[in-house]
Amino acid sequence: MTNVAELSDYFVWATVTAYTIAMVCFAFDLAKVSDAVGLRRREKLEAGTAAAPATASAVNEAVRASKTGGVALAGETDPHITYVGRRSKALGIAMATTWVGLFLHFAAVITRGIAAGRVPWANMYEFTITGTLAAVVVFLGVQLFKEIRYVGVFVTFLVVTFLMVALQAFHLQADAVQPALQRYWLVIHVGVAVGATGVLTVAFVVSVLQLLRGAKNDGKLNWGWLDVLPTPDKLEALSFRINAWGFVMWTFTIIGGAIWADEAWGRAWGWDPKETWSFVIWVVYAAYLHARTTRGWAGRRAAWFVVVGYICVLMNFTVVNYVFSGLHSYAG
């Protein structure tokens, strides 16, 4: 199945190309909106007019302007309103090429599975291409119900980066797996872990944007494009909901792994490096959800919790696979 494996690699490169185009277009549109917002404010300052409180009619005017590609600010109306429902050529190309990239991404994963004769997530290369696919699916899925196109440039940037690292550092020939992996739990346990990683990736992006937006509000950053993001509390609420789904999936990942370990090795838990780090990730996200819901932790503290949790996810995937030896060493 060498030809099919090569076809999968070509699909991955085509996916990288599509997502790169999308990333550039997302960034261009975000910059264009932020420049228009900044220009409007400078004009108000130069005219010496004080900003008036936003009225319902002014907000409606801003929304109508945004939907036709224009940018309108009514007094102190949240600039994010000008981005919701916005239409522009760059944004249209960005969304279209993201969807094209998604289909190419699916093709890459499916052909990899055909070439290997199994589900395509049994090593680091395959985990990366399927995990990034999950992240894009989450981004586009949430976008169907809630305006989060401002996240697109950052999600596509991470996906392109991870795919390039996978192609250059993790790539392996498509082949069969060790007998210990030839179980239906490979489909369930690792498949859920892949999905959880994609969900947590998008949540991480939202939390980082929350931190940057908060720094902008405090005058610590002067990046104009941050003005078109939702307020920090809205970003935090979105991150919390996405992380909650990721935590549920990660919980099932650990439970499924324990059942599989009991079947394969005769014990459910042995503090193997991979098991230990998976538990560390679970503890960090459990502490985040607990602190957020019962202890009133919010704002920067909650966002930094998410950042630490995602760093643990990356450590579990890279350092644990490369540095520590254990029963999960075949994962690399």
**Quick one: average pLDDT of 265-270?**
76
pLDDT grade, residue 83 (50/70/90)? low
Residue 182 belongs to some domain of the structure: yes
Q: Supply the pTM of this predicted model.
A: 0.85
**Quick one: average pLDDT of 32-46?**
68
pLDDT in tens, 40-57: 666 666 676 554 454 444
Q: Give the span between the Cα atoms of 147 and 144, in whole angstroms.
A: 8
Has residue 193 got a pLDDT over 60?
Answer: yes
Has residue 22 got a pLDDT over 70?
Answer: yes
Q: Taking the CB of residue 296, how many other CB atoms lie within 10 A of it?
A: 9
Residue 286 belongs to some domain of the structure: yes
Q: Which tokens sit at 67?
A: 């939907």
Residue 218 belongs to some domain of the structure: yes
**Quick one: average pLDDT of 113-121?**
89
Residue-number span of the structural domain to which 185 is assigned: 2-22+95-331
Query: Residue 63: its pLDDT value, please?
Result: 43
| Residue in 222, 73, 213 with CA at minimum distance from that of residue 151 | 213
**Quick one: average pLDDT of 128-151?**
95
Q: Taking the CB of residue 153, how many other CB atoms lie within 10 A of it?
A: 21
Residue 234 belongs to some domain of the structure: yes
Q: Give the span between the Cα atoms of 146 and 234, in whole angstroms.
A: 12
Residue 240: C-alpha distances to residues 12, 101, 277 (Å): 31, 27, 22
| Structural domain count, the chain | 1
Q: Give the span between the Cα atoms of 231 and 195, in whole angstroms.
A: 28
Residue 40 belongs to some domain of the structure: no
Query: Residue 67: its pLDDT value, please?
Result: 42
Q: Give the span between the Cα atoms of 59 and 48, in whole angstroms.
A: 22
pLDDT grade, residue 235 (50/70/90)? very high
Q: Give the span between the Cα atoms of 126 and 109, in whole angstroms.
A: 8
Has residue 185 got a pLDDT over 90?
Answer: no
Three-state DSSP state, 299: coil
Most confident range, picked from 65-69, 120-124, 264-268, 322-326: 120-124
Residue 53 belongs to some domain of the structure: no
**Quick one: average pLDDT of 193-221?**
93
Residue 33 belongs to some domain of the structure: no
Residue 144 belongs to some domain of the structure: yes
